[in-house]
């Protein structure tokens, strides 16, 4: 078991990584208020809800079980959390506990940020993607039919509990989707970690506990360092959006839940690498290394054929990363060194949008 802190002054919080943590009451106890509401979904509840409730028995926790899927990350579903809190007469001295993947973490965090103008919450991520990315950093929110994560708030958790044993229940597709976010963080700031991933991917895919713990901790530490420097994404933190401008367009264009978030991000990383090459930054061998790692991780390297250049441009025009009317792209100068720029010639962007399409095997 390992732990370290995200150092944000009064809003600092620990991240615990290890095994058999989901049911460990001693980990939760220092961060719980007198009322506790566990928010989970129909898939995760049968696996872990009873274990968490036993760990929190002294707090007599209540729970709300949401439908599972990105398509349910909406204001309508968010309201069901508020209804549960109000029905149970929860006051400001309460803690929400997000038990599930990225959708549950995001929607629970936003509920906590909004309920009675802000209450505490704890992240207990049960997917690889949530453990290495969405549970850390305080980004919370829901989707709108016109754009992903367009409604939300920055609201830091009090605690993150990443139990790697929960990853054994993931299917291969969900696990691969989490690998996309690990690859992303290595690409934007940690070249030695990227090389480690190239060497150790088979062990990671076999879910070796020691290798998993190392990868999750390395990814989380990288993200935590960025969050500490730029909590509200005024500069450096934007690097964490590598692949997301293209990826969010794919998710919105296909319909939420058609592609997993990590799959869309992976295709976006491939597109960002292609655009970086066209701008004269990355070399072809570097782009090939990126595409090869994505392929070995079981992730797409192209956008779906039905996503036309026009549909990409229309959807990216309402992305929250728009600044001054221009799309801000996270690109790569080299492996391990990302940058943010809005200075992208339209012809080069068009070339990337035209050539990085037609992914086989996914909808």
Q: What sections of 208-357 are H helices per DSSP?
A: 209-229, 244-254, 261-278, 284-296, 309-316, 346-355
Q: 232 an active-site residue? A: no
Helix, strand or coil, per DSSP, at residue 97: strand
201/70 same-domain check: no
H or E element, residue 185:
helix 172-189
Predicted local distance difference test score (pLDDT) of residue 327: 87
d(Cα 153, Cα 74) in Å, to the nearest integer? 14
Q: Which of 155, 218, 223, 302 does the annotation list as catalytic?
A: 223
Q: Give the dihedral sign, CA 26/32/34/35.
A: negative
204/228 same-domain check: yes
Read off the CATH number of the domain in which 136 is found: 3.40.50.1970
d(Cα 49, Cα 26) in Å, to the nearest integer? 17
Residue 360 lies in a domain: no
Q: Which of 89, 117, 284, 310 does the annotation list as catalytic?
A: 117
pLDDT tens digits for range 135-170: 999 999 999 998 889 999 999 999 999 999 999 999
Q: 223 an active-site residue? A: yes
Q: 241 an active-site residue? A: yes
**What is the chain's Cα-based Rg?**
20
Q: What tokens appear for 200 in the block?
A: 């150790």
9/138 same-domain check: yes
Q: 2 an active-site residue? A: no
Q: Which of 73, 184, 248, 289 does the annotation list as catalytic?
A: 248
117/192 same-domain check: no
Predicted local distance difference test score (pLDDT) of residue 322: 62
Q: Which of 148, 158, 189, 237 does the annotation list as catalytic?
A: 237
Residue with tokens 């692949």: 243
Query: How many H-runs (helices) and E-runs (strands) does the chain carry?
Result: 13, 13
What region, left, alpha or beta, does residue 233 occupy, with left being phi > 0 and alpha being psi -120 to 50 degrees? left
Q: 306 an active-site residue? A: no
Q: 181 an active-site residue? A: yes
Domain endpoint, select from 133, 148, 169: 169
- Please give the tally of structural domains in the chain: 2
Read off the CATH number of the domain in which 309 is found: 1.20.1090.10
d(Cα 17, Cα 163) in Å, to the nearest integer? 6
Residue 292 lies in a domain: yes
d(Cα 260, Cα 256) in Å, to the nearest integer? 8
What angle separates helix 346-355 from helix 261-278, to the nearest 10 degrees?
130
d(Cα 343, Cα 201) in Å, to the nearest integer? 34
Q: 173 an active-site residue? A: no
> Residue 38 CA to chain centroid, in angstroms?
20
Q: Which of 274, 332, 326, 345 is nearest to 303 (CA)?
A: 274
55/179 same-domain check: no
Q: What tokens appear for 221 in the block?
A: 């530490």
Q: 320 an active-site residue? A: no
Give pLDDT < 50 ranges for the chain. 359-363
Domain that holds residue 186: 172-355
Q: Which of 41, 143, 149, 241 does the annotation list as catalytic?
A: 241
230/339 same-domain check: yes
Q: 289 an active-site residue? A: no
Q: 244 an active-site residue? A: yes
121/147 same-domain check: yes
pLDDT tens digits for range 310-346: 999 999 988 656 666 678 899 999 999 999 999 999 9
Predicted local distance difference test score (pLDDT) of residue 360: 43
Predicted local distance difference test score (pLDDT) of residue 354: 93
Q: Which of 41, 73, 139, 328 does the annotation list as catalytic?
A: 139
Q: Which of 148, 155, 158, 181 does the annotation list as catalytic?
A: 181
Predicted local distance difference test score (pLDDT) of residue 102: 96
């Amino acid at each position: 078991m390992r732990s370290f802190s995200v150092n944000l002054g009064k809003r600092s919080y620990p991240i615990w990584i290890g095994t058999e943590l989901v049911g460990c009451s001693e980990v939760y106890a220092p961060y719980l208020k007198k009322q506790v509401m566990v928010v989970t979904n129909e898939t995760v509840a049968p696996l872990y809800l009873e274990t968490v409730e036993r760990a929190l028995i002294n707090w007599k926790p209540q729970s709300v079980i949401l439908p599972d899927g990105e398509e349910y990350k909406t204001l309508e579903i968010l309201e069901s959390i508020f209804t549960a809190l109000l029905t149970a007469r929860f006051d400001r001295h309460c803690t929400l506990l997000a038990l599930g993947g990225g959708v549950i973490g995001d929607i629970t965090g936003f509920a906590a940020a909004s309920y009675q103008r802000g209450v505490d919450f704890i992240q207990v991520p049960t997917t690889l993607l949530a453990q290495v990315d969405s549970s850390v950093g305080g980004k919370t929110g829901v989707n709108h039919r016109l754009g992903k994560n367009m409604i939300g708030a920055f609201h830091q958790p009090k605690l993150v509990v990443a139990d790697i044993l929960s990853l054994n229940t993931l299917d291969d597709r969900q696990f691969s989707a989490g690998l996309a976010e690990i690859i992303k963080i290595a690409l934007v700031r940690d070249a030695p970690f990227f090389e480690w991933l190239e060497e150790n991917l088979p062990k990671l895919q076999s879910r070796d506990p020691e290798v998993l713990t190392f990868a999750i901790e390395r990814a989380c530490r990288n993200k935590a360092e960025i969050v500490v420097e730029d909590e509200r994404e005024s500069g450096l933190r934007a690097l964490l959006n590598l692949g997301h401008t293209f990826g969010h367009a794919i998710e919105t264009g296909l319909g939420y839940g058609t592609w997993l978030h990590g799959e869309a991000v992976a295709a976006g990383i491939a597109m960002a690498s292609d655009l970086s090459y066209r701008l004269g930054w990355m070399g072809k061998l570097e782009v090939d290394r990126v595409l090869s790692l994505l392929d070995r991780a079981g992730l797409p390297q192209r956008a779906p054929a039905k996503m036309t250049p026009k549909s990409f441009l229309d959807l990216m025009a309402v992305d929250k990363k728009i600044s001054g009317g221009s799309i801000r792209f996270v690109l790569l100068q080299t492996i391990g060194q990302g940058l943010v720029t809005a200075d992208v010639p339209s012809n080069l962007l068009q070339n990337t949008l035209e050539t990085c399409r037609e992914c086989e095997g996914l909808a």
